[in-house]
Chain A
Amino acid sequence: MELFLSGFTQMLDPIIIILIFIGVFAGIIFGASPGLTAAMGMSFALPLTYVMPPLQAIALILGLYIGGASGGLITAILINIPGTPACIATTFDGHPMAAKGNPAKALGYGIISSFFGGIISLIVLTFASPYLAKIALEFGPTEYFSVSLFALALIAGLAGKSMLKGLTSGVIGLMLATVGQAPLDASRRFTMGIRGFNNGFQLLCALIGVYAISEILKYAENGDDGTDKGLKNVKISGLGVKLKDFAGQWINVIRSSLIGVGIGILPGIGGATSNLIAYSITKKTSKYPEKFGTGIKDGIIASETANNAVSGGALIPLLTLGIPGDAGTAILLAAMTLHGVTPGPLLFETNGNLIYSIFTVLFIANIAMMILEYFGMKIFVKMVQIPKCYLLSTIFILSAIGAMAQNNRIFDIWAVLIFGFIAYILYQFDVPPAPLIMGFILGPIVEINLLRGLMLTEGNFLRFFDRPIPLIAILITIFYLGYTFYHSIMAILPKTEVAEVH
């Protein structure tokens, strides 16, 4: 309690609060701009923190981290282009709700859900981090493989009308992820002698290509087809939603937050998958799964609570073990180390008040995120009223520069175009793009952990089942796939009978 109070008093410094707001504001802009990521913003801000005391530096970087985690929802909802990979599932129901004339409501659900996700993960981080970190340490390759395999199986739930088309998209994502260096022996695969392929494709390039470039091509094809009519002449008052609108959603909020925290704790899997997993599970357990994708609040809440809960989850291994869970926490680790703070088990004993200051920074950052997004809503909606030809052309330039910024090579813009063209061709065949991204993200994780697991078990796959987590995860995966296949076959069969009668 003493440590908590001491940590909290340090936060009364107005400079720290201002830095949190600046960080969150910048994070929202980075998160909302397709092609720019929170991690990029954090790395740009890192040199600025050299001259700051440790807590001020951490406040700025954490602000960027929290703002970036939430900012992606703005473009995901308003223009159907997720600002970050963590907001892919927000497009499924967020954009349809906005296009129906309720952009304020869609943004309101997204903003409040982001806040809930952030706060729930903060509670878990404050009270359970040492215990959860111990569990995370128990995770070996077989556990990682089985959990990633389960996440991959969820592709079947993201497939939309045709499961087979969802699986097609997923397997294309898996294949594209194998281009470049093999994970264990660094052999070059599928490079076709092209130098740019040697390092494979970056996730950011895949995301921008699949969502931004294909959106430009779809606009060229369909023009202003009236689907976004609901976004014109919208008047916004308040947050668009009230707390009572969340009635019946609390299980969804808590479940999706825990999914986000759970995925955040596991280094390497990252927030990009949490929203899709939470969305898929919410859809599967819903009483009205057929309404998902039409613009219902359940989908937005699942996606946005999960992706923001990742931020707290990812801080657990960072603070307790010194292991960063994603790119954002890796930069945070760098910022802390630069200022002489070494995260790890000893941090809680030697620098307890700093830990509680960090928790307070997170709390204030979540509030700042809600305030800034609330006041920004009118501007965000105005932004969409810019003619789409201007908006999409500018997004293309930002996407190109964002892709190039990662490694400073023009090949990454080519990669963006390749993914964009593939997504556009798949769109012509009604193949959904989200499973492709899911396969692309999870493919390397599944591969490296399968190979490591096989090396550990001397090639005996059955020994994966010796440990409880892989056993349970693989059994759930088999059950889930069987259940999904059964339901998709049952959905087709009555049609056949009707066709035969006619």
Chain B
Amino acid sequence: MFSKYKDIILGVVLLIITGIYYSGTFMELKFAMSDYGAAFVPRIYTGMAAIISILMIITGIWKIKTNQIDSKKNRLNKKNTKKVITVISILIGYVLLLPRLGFLIDTVLVLIVLINVLASEKTLKLKNVMLYSVIAGITINWLFVKVFYLRLPVGIIGF
């Protein structure tokens, strides 16, 4: 079903985004130095995007009519969709917790969880994963803080 209407969905989504983008060109702060303000080029892009999205919809309809549908099965299924959503949640969680937990703790925790989620079908020894995550976290933290003098979020541990 998704494969059949893929191009049409893409065209419609792009058209909606283009509409939102176009409305955004009326909201910018204006310090016009010339006739060609901050909205000039974005409006050209709006025109381009609108033409492309309309062509995409027409091509999609034409493909259905002429039976040129990609016969490949939809890649996403219930099982892997759940896994993708879990990974996305982990990545978002990492950034959210970074200022609170600090780089070191957050990194070690995320490495443990992410490695296990990505390898859920294989049997990984939790002990090995934890050992790797702690060593990797400490090494990366040491390298960037002590060698490259980067300021990383210290969080609750204070270093």
Query: Chain A: residues with CB nearer than 8 A to chain B?
Result: 44, 164-165, 167-168, 171-172, 174-175, 178, 182, 184-190, 192, 213, 216-217, 219-223, 387-390, 392-394, 396-398, 400-401, 404-405, 408, 410, 413-414, 417, 420-421, 424, 428-431, 446-447, 450-451, 454-455, 459, 495-496, 499-500, 502
Contact = CB atoms under 8 A, between A and B. Distances in A.
Contacts of B29: 187-188
Contacts of B117: 220
A219 B118 contact: yes
A405 B150 CA distance: 7
A168 B117 CA distance: 33
Interface in B77-93: 80, 83-84, 86-88, 91-92
B71 interface: no
Contact of A220 (B39, B52, B87): B87
Contact of A397 (B38, B48, B84, B140): B140
A187 B114 CA distance: 40
B95 A174 contact: no
Contacts of A184: 33-34, 36, 38
A168 B28 contact: no
Given A168-B10, A410-B99, A451-B40, A217 B118 contact: no
A455 B38 contact: no
Interface in B12-44: 14, 17, 21, 24-25, 28-42
Given A390-B132, A397-B136, A450-B41, A222 B95 contact: no
A165 B35 CA distance: 33
A187 B38 contact: yes
Contact of B151 (A171, A187, A408, A502): A408
Contact of B66 (A178, A189, A496): A496
A455 B36 contact: yes
A425 to B, nearest CB: 9
A44 B149 CA distance: 9
B157 interface: no
Interface residues of B, number: 75
16 contacts: A44-B149, A171-B52, A182-B28, A187-B31, A189-B39, A216-B87, A219-B118, A220-B83, A220-B117, A387-B124, A394-B111, A417-B91, A421-B88, A429-B6, A451-B36, A496-B66
Contacts of B124: 387, 389
Contacts of A401: 103, 140, 144, 150, 152
A152 to B, nearest CB: 11
Contacts of B34: 184, 451, 454-455
A44 B148 contact: yes
Contact of A495 (B68, B86, B151): B68
Nearest to B9: A429
Given A213-B91, A393-B110, A431-B10, 7 more contacts: A174-B48, A189-B28, A216-B91, A389-B118, A401-B103, A401-B140, A455-B36
A171 B48 contact: yes
Contacts of B66: 495-496, 499-500
B115 A430 contact: no
A219 to B, nearest CB: 6
B111 A430 contact: no
Contacts of A405: 144, 148, 150
A326 B121 CA distance: 45
A460 B118 CA distance: 56
Contacts of B31: 185-187
